[in-house]
């Protein structure tokens, strides 16, 4: 009995001593086809494809689940303890200990059929963490890397990281504002493979940052109440490569991410966002003629470049719509009767100087690059104004409107003197319709942020109001398409890419119908809202010149990130020829890419080839959308040095001719010669004039 008692006591002591080791032992999570192993030290120690029995984590590189930045120093966890939540299948709590800073981070885990969710619940002691980084997770896979959407894949398998809210940004914190001027770094190629990574910042404290990629140094940034790193969340998953997009859609639904639907189909699977559209400033009196052109070319949308009286409040311009919203709705009814959408361009959060946010009383939430104070009283008429410091006023590289705000007055100035006494010279009092006034010593002199477009910009709070304004106008009018042109303007808040994500989310959340939306910038959370990226401006050259390489380079980006192919904007003038148009249409067909055709009613009326141009767009697009070009021809259509002519021979058949230029004597026009035609026809399974799903 004594021996058994001794052995029992010994076993209890041994178990007590080993209990911390058991609690901190590694744990395996299932995320789709992927097994994710978290070690006892809080590192990701395996990303294993259990179906194909293959390890995808690069085991030779460090891979912390979560890093923290405390007091300017980065730290990885030293220990991890995991416990399951009773009564909540698939849910657990992972406690990460950081011994150097003596803090703990609590992470909630949750298993879904497709993915594993990791969410940062709390930090103890509170308020200690400035930044967190999920990863980076080094992978031995990277043949195709989706830098925006955060997926690395080969022909067989895909490993992905999805950010699950606007506060969690894809990539790595490159600067103090949390912005990345590249197209994306959620997934990034590396030697031997790739990495997945995301981060979040504590924005609840006042900060100073070098804002907008360093254009506005040492800018004071207001705190965002309650916006800490707590709540940052990601999803990790692994699946068969061919099911990647489908899996992301399931994650969207499970995590209640934006999941816009177009005509009953998830937008990422629909062909509609990839269709081409016509840009022309329609009005109540001209909409019928422009809709007829849009219909003849069988384009998706008639899109307005200048529909708004001003950016900021986004009220319809009476020049085009004298009957306001009622007049616009009449235009919309005509468009819908023809199966055409109406769209309107926006400049995201830029604010015109004539907008009510500026005049006659400037909004206190206009973005400010910095402050000084008046060293003495000034009257309402002086044109030389003293300031205690020249900082912020002497930024000559990013200062286009030269405007300060004192009280409720806006004042423009020429320059600031470089030596004491510092003064603003050449002051124009009561600028932009504000009222000149006397100001007392010590009054704040705020330097307003501006832009080369000669506009002002909002701070974060005003950005959200403008996003809501914009959504309200789209709800009132029924508009169905827009672009977040100048989306980077949200950097005026000093809050980096977080502000860009938040603006798009606020707009989306306030809508009462689906609005197709494009961008020239990309963010991983916005990816779920975004419909297409159609950038390539036409203003600096002809069809073959303006940003052409950029347009072609974008096609790879779209493939990597499950986005529709788009070629950007082209300009149809009164002199545009059929040869120019078909040069572009061949590229569009080769890449299966949509485009925007920017023009004006005047150009359409004056161009003698308008009918032929619109007919060419219709026929080329019908072939493109039905994917009828043979593979070997598709490669030739992508070549910018090759030209083609498409000729309709029947309802569902065409002849595609290669075209050659015969250069003759200087001063003479080049003669065009046609080669042997290739017969093109719709397959029996194709629906004439219909669209194939992008899933197919």
Helix%, strand%, coil% for the chain, nearest 5: 25, 30, 45
Report the alpha-carbon distance of residue 34 to residue 27 in Å, rounded. Answer: 13
Confidence at residue 694, expressed as pLDDT on a 0 to 100 scale: 33
Confidence at residue 90, expressed as pLDDT on a 0 to 100 scale: 82
Given a contact cutoff of 8 angstroms between Cβ atoms, the answer to whether 230 and 122 are in contact is yes
- State how far the alpha carbon of 175 is from the alpha carbons of 1, 114, 346, 463, in Å: 69, 33, 28, 22
**Per-residue DSSP letter, 317:** P
- State how far the alpha carbon of 383 is from the alpha carbons of 423, 538, 614, in Å: 10, 43, 57
Confidence at residue 684, expressed as pLDDT on a 0 to 100 scale: 55
Here the CATH number for the domain that contains residue 108 is 2.70.98
Tell me whether residue 339 is in a domain.
Answer: yes
Residues 6+ apart with CB under 8 A from 444: 371, 372, 373, 406
* Helix/strand/coil for 562: coil
Backbone angles phi, psi at 102, to 5 degrees: 60, 45
Tell me whether residue 318 is in a domain.
Answer: yes
**Per-residue DSSP letter, 113:** S
Number of domains in the chain: 3
Confidence at residue 663, expressed as pLDDT on a 0 to 100 scale: 58
Here the CATH number for the domain that contains residue 314 is 3.20.20.70
**308 shares a domain with 194:** no
Tell me whether residue 353 is in a domain.
Answer: no
Backbone angles phi, psi at 667, to 5 degrees: 95, -20
Tell me whether residue 694 is in a domain.
Answer: no
Work out the number of other CB atoms within 10 angstroms of the CB of residue 382: 14
**212 shares a domain with 155:** yes
Backbone angles phi, psi at 213, to 5 degrees: 60, 35
Using alpha carbons, select from 526, 532, 491 the residue that is nearest to residue 343: 532
The domain containing residue 522 runs over which residues?
Answer: 275-348+460-626
Given a contact cutoff of 8 angstroms between Cβ atoms, the answer to whether 95 and 65 are in contact is no
**430 shares a domain with 391:** yes
Using alpha carbons, select from 437, 528, 488 the residue that is nearest to residue 148: 528
Given a contact cutoff of 8 angstroms between Cβ atoms, the answer to whether 407 and 439 are in contact is yes
Work out the number of other CB atoms within 10 angstroms of the CB of residue 503: 26
**72 shares a domain with 123:** yes
> CB pairs under 8 A, 24+ apart, for 383-387?
383/425, 383/426, 383/427, 383/428, 383/429, 384/423, 384/424, 384/425, 384/427, 385/411, 385/413, 385/423, 385/424, 385/427, 385/445, 386/421, 386/422, 386/423, 386/424, 387/416, 387/422, 387/423, 387/424, 387/445
Tell me whether residue 412 is in a domain.
Answer: yes
Looking up tokens 């788009």 gives 566
Q: pLDDT under 50 in the chain at which residues?
A: 1-23, 665-669, 685-696
**233 shares a domain with 103:** yes
**Per-residue DSSP letter, 83:** E
Tell me whether residue 669 is in a domain.
Answer: no
Report the alpha-carbon distance of residue 619 to residue 382 in Å, rounded. Answer: 66
Which residue, 594, 626, 658, sits at the end of a domain?
Answer: 626
Confidence at residue 5, expressed as pLDDT on a 0 to 100 scale: 45
Confidence at residue 597, expressed as pLDDT on a 0 to 100 scale: 98
Confidence at residue 688, expressed as pLDDT on a 0 to 100 scale: 37
**437 shares a domain with 343:** no
């Amino acid at each position: 009995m004594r021996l058994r008692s001794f052995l029992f006591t010994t076993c209890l002591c041994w178990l007590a001593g080993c209990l911390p080791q058991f609690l901190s032992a590694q744990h395996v999570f299932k995320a789709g086809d992927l097994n994710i192993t978290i070690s006892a030290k809080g590192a990701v120690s395996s990303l294993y494809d259990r179906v194909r029995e293959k390890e995808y984590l690069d085991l030779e590189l460090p891979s912390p689940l979560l890093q923290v930045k405390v007091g300017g120093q980065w730290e990885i966890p030293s220990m991890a303890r995991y416990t399951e939540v009773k009564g909540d299948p698939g849910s657990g709590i992972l406690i990460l200990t950081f011994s150097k800073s003596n803090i703990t981070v609590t992470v909630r885990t949750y298993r879904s059929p497709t993915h594993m969710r990791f969410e940062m619940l709390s930090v103890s002691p509170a308020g200690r963490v400035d930044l967190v980084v999920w990863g980076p997770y080094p992978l031995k896979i990277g043949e195709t890397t989706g830098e925006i959407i955060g997926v690395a894949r080969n022909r067989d398998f895909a490993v992905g990281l999805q950010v699950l809210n606007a506060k969690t940004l894809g990539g790595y914190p490159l600067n103090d504002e949390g912005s990345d001027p590249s197209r994306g770094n959620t997934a990034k190629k590396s030697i031997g493979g790739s990495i997945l990574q995301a981060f979040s910042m504590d924005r609840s404290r006042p900060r100073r940052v070098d804002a907008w990629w360093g254009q506005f140094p040492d800018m004071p940034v207001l705190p965002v109440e309650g916006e800490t790193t707590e709540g940052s969340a990601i999803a990790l998953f692994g699946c068969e490569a061919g099911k990647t997009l489908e899996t992301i859609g399931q994650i969207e639904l499970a995590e209640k991410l934006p999941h816009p639907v177009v005509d009953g189909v998830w937008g990422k699977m629909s062909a509609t966002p990839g269709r081409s559209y016509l840009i022309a400033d329609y009005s109540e009196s001209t909409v019928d003629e422009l809709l007829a052109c849009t219909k003849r070319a069988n384009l998706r949308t008639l899109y307005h470049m200048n529909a708004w009286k001003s950016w900021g409040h986004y009220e319809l311009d009476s020049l085009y719509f004298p009957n306001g919203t009622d007049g616009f709705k009449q235009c919309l009814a005509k468009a819908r009767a023809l199966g055409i959408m109406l769209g309107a361009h926006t400049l995201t959060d830029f604010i015109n100087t004539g907008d009510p946010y500026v005049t006659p009383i400037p909004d206190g939430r206009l973005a400010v690059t910095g402050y000084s104070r008046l060293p003495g009283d000034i009257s309402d008429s002086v044109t030389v104004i003293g300031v205690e410091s020249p900082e912020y006023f002497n930024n000559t590289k990013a200062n286009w409107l030269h405007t300060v705000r004192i009280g409720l007055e806006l004042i423009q100035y020429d320059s600031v003197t470089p030596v004491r006494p510092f003064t603003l010279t050449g002051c124009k009092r009561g600028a932009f319709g504000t009222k000149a006034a006397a100001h007392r010593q010590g009054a704040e002199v705020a330097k307003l942020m501006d832009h080369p477009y000669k506009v002002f910009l909002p701070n974060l709070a005003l950005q959200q109001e403008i996003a809501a304004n914009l959504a309200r106008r789209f709800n009132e009018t029924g508009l169905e398409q827009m672009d977040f042109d100048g989306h980077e303007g949200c950097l005026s808040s000093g809050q980096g890419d977080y502000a860009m994500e938040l603006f798009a989310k606020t707009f989306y959340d306030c809508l009462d119908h689906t609005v197709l939306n494009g961008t020239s910038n990309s963010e991983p959370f916005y990816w779920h809202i975004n419909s297409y990226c159609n950038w390539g401006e036409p203003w600096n050259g002809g069809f073959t010149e303006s940003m052409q390489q950029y347009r072609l380079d974008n096609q790879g980006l779209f493939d990597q990130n499950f986005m529709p192919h788009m070629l950007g904007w082209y300009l149809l003038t009164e002199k545009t020829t059929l040869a120019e148009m078909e040069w572009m249409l061949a590229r569009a067909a080769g890449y299966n890419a949509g485009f925007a055709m920017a023009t004006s009613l005047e150009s359409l009326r004056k161009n003698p080839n308008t009918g032929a141009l619109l007919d060419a767009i219709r026929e080329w697009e019908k072939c493109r959308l039905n994917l009828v070009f043979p593979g070997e021809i598709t490669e030739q259509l992508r070549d910018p040095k090759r030209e083609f002519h498409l000729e309709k021979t029947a309802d569902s058949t065409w002849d595609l001719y290669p075209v050659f230029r015969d250069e003759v004597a200087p001063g003479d026009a080049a003669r065009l010669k046609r080669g042997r035609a290739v017969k093109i026809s719709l397959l029996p399974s194709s629906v004439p004039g219909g669209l194939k799903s992008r899933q197919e």
